[in-house]
Amino acid sequence: MLTPVRKQSVSDAVFAQLRDQIVSGELSAGSPLPAERVLCEALGVNRGSVREALSRLQQSRLVSIRHGGTSQVLDYRHSAGLDLLADLVVSPAGRLETGLVRGIIEMRSALAPDIARRAAERGAAAAPRLDAVVARMRAAAGDLLVLQELAAEYWSELVDAADNLAYRLAYNSLHATYDQCRALFTQVLADELGDVAGYAAVAAAVAAGDAERAARQARRLIERGERGVKQALALLDAPGRGMP
pTM comes to: 0.84
Domain assignments of the chain as residue spans, ordered by start: 10-80, 86-237
Interatomic CA distance for residues 60 and 48, integer angstroms: 18
What pLDDT, in 10s, does the model give residues 14-48? 999 999 999 999 999 999 999 899 999 999 999 99
What pLDDT, in 10s, does the model give residues 183-227? 888 899 999 999 999 999 999 999 999 999 999 999 999 999 999
* pLDDT of amino acid 8: 67
Asked whether this chain's domains 10-80 and 86-237 adopt the same fold, the reply is no
Architecture of domain 86-237 in CATH? Up-down Bundle (1.20)
Instruction: Categorize the per-residue pLDDT at 130 as very low, low, confident or very high, splitting at 50, 70 and 90.
Output: very high
What are the E-state strand segments in the chain? 63-65, 71-73
Nearest to 111 by CA among 61, 153, 173: 173
Class of the 10-80 domain?
mainly alpha
* pLDDT of amino acid 32: 92
* pLDDT of amino acid 243: 46
Considering the chain, what is the average pLDDT of its residues? 90
